[in-house]
Structure 1
Amino acid sequence: MSFDFAARVERVEPSATLAISNKASELEAEGVDVVDLSVGEPDFPTPENIVAAGQEAMDAGHTGYTSSNGIPELRESIAAKLRDDGLDATSEEVIVTPGGKQALFETFQTLIDGVDEQGSSARGTSSRAGDEVVLLDPAWVSYEAMAKLSGGSLNRVDLAPYDFQLEPALDDLAAAVSDDTKLLVVNSPSNPTGAVYSDAALEGVRDLAVEHDITVISDEIYQQITYGVEPTSLGSLEGMSDRTITINGFSKAYSMTGWRLGYLHAPESLISQAAKLHSHSVSCAVNFVQHAGLEALENTDEAVVEMRDAFRERRDMLAELFAEHGVDVPVGDGAFYMMLPVADDSEARSASESASGDEPRADDQEWCAGAIEDAHVATVPGSAFGSPGYARISYAASEERLREAVDRLAEHDYI
């Protein structure tokens, strides 16, 4: 049978991050020792108190459906956390989701409208493109896919020339947005750069959002993983409470990736619409996982600090190791990623030759493909995030494995 696939699905590619991780798994199944620095997954076990809370919730019979938007006590705890961040939040303005990615997906689907091949949209016949979504590059790979799946059109602002900082790029952002912009996505601390945007940068975003009546997603999934800086929650700025959707979750800070638990906070008018999509798709987040999330929010600060301190030590060590090989890597103040300069799109770096000594590696995709095949080190091409010429490295791995990765890359002339 030949399937006629939906155009919205054919518009997107599989996740580049997961594609690299799958390749690493294939090599490992063949007996190859791969240092996998491709996936943003903390290597720490979920803290014991969280695991115990999940087990106790199962034992207590919390294994059925919950109210679609989440159990009341978790939503109230999330709202209290958001109030601590300076947001005027109530539990009625929160939807608990199976992972932060689902919270983002529901937000895109709720806000962004598209047009089909005949130019007909939900708003009637039109020749216009789908609603405009503006991304700050490099941007997490799934933002683009979510925008395309919802039928939106993309406009992108390149932060690479500014060492991945937003503040010096505000003029570029001002030139990119307009009254036609429906949604702007801000991710601070950033995946894939680790950049934490300054208050001045966020105030610049606020001014543009108010001027052009733009809704802003503030993806704060790495909020608790910062080094020497205190991130500002965008929705706490004056003028942003009624136009900001704050996304967060439990995967990164609490090492709960497989538990799949996240949330979105927004004005009640948006929550009422997003809740329809939520109820007709995932129904609700897993019951006992929500109870574990409540424990995470209320009793796990010490473990979060221990993991954060370990990430900081790894970041500093990795930057020093690359510097020893003459590679200057921009170092962010948050998350657990760095963007390693590996290639130039216009001209291959003379030092970037393949292990065979034949053709130079002309771009980041070729560099990453070679690194996993030759050095058995898995990274993600910067072009997947909208910034060619880099490879994203996750330092959510032990110091021993990070040292091994640098040694292998150096041995095979990848740095």
Structure 2
Amino acid sequence: MRTSLSYLSKKVAELQPSGIRRFFDLASTMEDVISLGVGEPDFVTPWNVIEASYHSLEKGYTAYTANAGMIELRRLIEEYLAEQFNVRYNAEDQILVTVGASQAIDLSIRALIDPGDEVIIAEPCFVAYAPIVSLAGGIPVPVDAHAENAFRLQPEQLEAAVTNRTKAVLICSPNNPTGAVLRTEELIGIAAVVENHDLIVISDEIYAELTYDEGYTSLASLEQLKERTLLVSGFSKAFAMTGWRLGYVAGPSEWIQAMLKIHQYTMMCASTMAQHGAIEALKNGRESMLAMKKSYKQRRNFIVNSLNDLGLECHRPGGAFYVFPSVKSTGLTSEAFAEKLLQEEHVAVVPGHVFGKSGEGYIRCSYATSLKQLDEAIKRIQRFLQRL
């Protein structure tokens, strides 16, 4: 008789578990841990959003919605994208509400990528990108967005990575894990490469609202990319709604309708109560969002200055809520640094190599925690470095 493992799909058997989860699982067994590893806001979802969802249950809104999402929500997303990012889509057939932004990325890849197609991915990057591409039969092609460029992908790097099998480019700006925000001139250069080679773009803009120093430019707002881009976003980060699992994707109608077919068969629709909460967030949640953003900027400035004072070279990220300091000066690998720091000082960070090979020598620290906790974490890191 075959073993249970022998029945597994080869793709799944070869898939590596998330490197982030291992550190979270270890930290959960320890007391007095300060976590700088979790990629989610420390704020509770604004009360008006919670209340709107609660009232929807009281009113009996517990059935399925349209597969693409409630039309009221899609129309609000249409208005929001136009107002905030100068991108215009039709709510009827160009916007799909998904179960988190991660599902939107998965649907994008599955709808557009055939086995053997190459997808260029700017690294360091979110841990799910390459596995999602591989599961669809595509070939992830990592490109190192070098630290000397503040981890921003340069157009000439993209040009050099294109082959006759390249079909898509997957970009996240502001970036997880580095916080890097692509500048408008870099986006224009990237757009030229994409257009010249007849490629498509999946633009993960889940952190777009959380930019601190300059205005944000969406790739989809560039005229030459409008019909080549799928814009992925959601409510998790800007509105502190991670556990609600609600995202969306906007793009050309033909692509969205293809993604809708997959969504119909695999997910049916996003949570009804979460969609009601999202409607309230878009109608009356901007003030709460801006207050959280102001706090993140204050924390960013504190942690960047503190890490540099400790000798851990750290660029000042333009967005998201992560810093990506170098630990190369310690002589430790990123994994060894993270493990020793957790064991000795009970501070949880994520080793950079889990975000791609180019992340080796760095650690990701989330500043989505209170200033008091950040201050204590810095003191513990200082003690740890002094012993080293």
Category of TM-score, reference length = shorter chain: over 0.9
Equivalent of residue 25 in structure 2, options 22, 42, 45: 22
- Is it true that 1:133 corresponds to 2:103 in the alignment? no
Matched, 1:147 2:133: yes
Structure 2-normalised TM-score? 0.95
After the TM superposition, list the runs of 4 or more consecutive aligned residues in structure 1 that deviate by more than 6 angstroms. none
After the TM superposition, which residues 282-301 of structure 1 pair with which residues of structure 2 at under 5 Å, given as runs? 282-301=267-286
- Per-residue displacement from partner, 1:218-257 (whole Å, max 9, x unpaired)? 1110011110211111111021111100000000000001
1:41 aligns with 2:40: yes
Alpha-carbon displacement from aligned partner over 1:341-375 (angstroms, at most 9, x marks no partner): 112xxxxx4x45xxxxxxxx3x1111111111111
Output aligned runs, 1:322-401, within 5 Å.
322-343=307-328, 349=329, 351-352=330-331, 361=332, 363-386=333-356, 387-401=359-373
Give the aligned partner of residue 120 of structure 1.
none
* Distance in 2 of aligned mates of 1:246 and 1:18: 27
Contact 1:86 1:236 in 2 (8 A): yes
RMSD over aligned CA atoms reads 1.4
* Residue pair 1:70, 1:285 contacting (<8 A) in 2 also: yes
CA contact (8 A) 2:235 2:246 kept: yes
Where does 1:7-406 land on structure 2 (aligned, <5 Å)? 7-27=10-30, 32-84=31-83, 85-91=85-91, 92-114=93-115, 130-166=116-152, 169-343=154-328, 349=329, 351-352=330-331, 361=332, 363-386=333-356, 387-406=359-378
> Take 2:293 and 2:70, find their aligned partners in 1: how far apart are those partners?
28
Map Cα deviations across residues 64-84 of structure 1 (whole Å, 9 max, x no partner).
111111001001111112222
Higher helix share: 2
Unpaired runs of 5+ residues, structure 1, are 115-129, 344-348, 353-360
Q: Quote the Cα distance in structure 2 between the aligned partners of 1:162 and 1:321.
A: 20
Paired with 1:101 and 1:19, the residues of 2 have a C-alpha distance of: 20
Q: Secondary structure of 1:247's match?
A: strand
1:411 matched residue in structure 2 = 383
In structure 2, how many angstroms separate the alpha carbons of the residues matched to 1:145 and 1:297? 32
Verify the 8 A CA contact 1:254 1:296 in the aligned structure 2: yes
Contact 1:11 1:148 in 2 (8 A): no
- Cα deviation, 1:265-292, whole Å, max 9, x if unaligned, reads 1111111111111011111001111011
**Distance in 1 between residues matched to 2:210 and 2:147, nearest whole Å:** 25
Q: Tell me if the contact between 1:227 and 1:334 (Cα under 8 Å) persists in the aligned partners.
A: yes
- After TM superposition, give the deviation of residue 402 of structure 1 in Å: 0.9
The SS at the match of 1:253 is: coil
Per-residue deviation, 1:162? 2.7
1:258 & 1:154 partners in 2: Cα distance? 28
For 2:107, give the aligned amino acid.
E
Residue identity over aligned pairs, in percent, reads: 36
Counterpart amino acid of 1:302?
E
Aligned residues: 380
Gaps in structure 2 of 5+ consecutive residues: none
Change (3 A) 1:301 1:195: same
Per the TM alignment, residue 187 of structure 1 is displaced from its structure 2 partner at its CA by: 0.8
CA-CA distance at 1:165 after TM superposition:
4.0
CA gap of 1:227–1:71, structure 2 versus 1, over 3 A, is same
- Selected match of 2:4 from 2, 5, 13: 2
Q: Is the Cα contact below 8 Å between 1:189 and 1:231 reproduced in 2? A: no
* 3-state SS in 2 of match to 1:263: strand
Q: Which whole-Å CA distance do the structure 2 matches of 1:266 and 1:397 have between them?
A: 34
Deviations 1:308-330 (A, max 9, x none): 01000001111121232223311
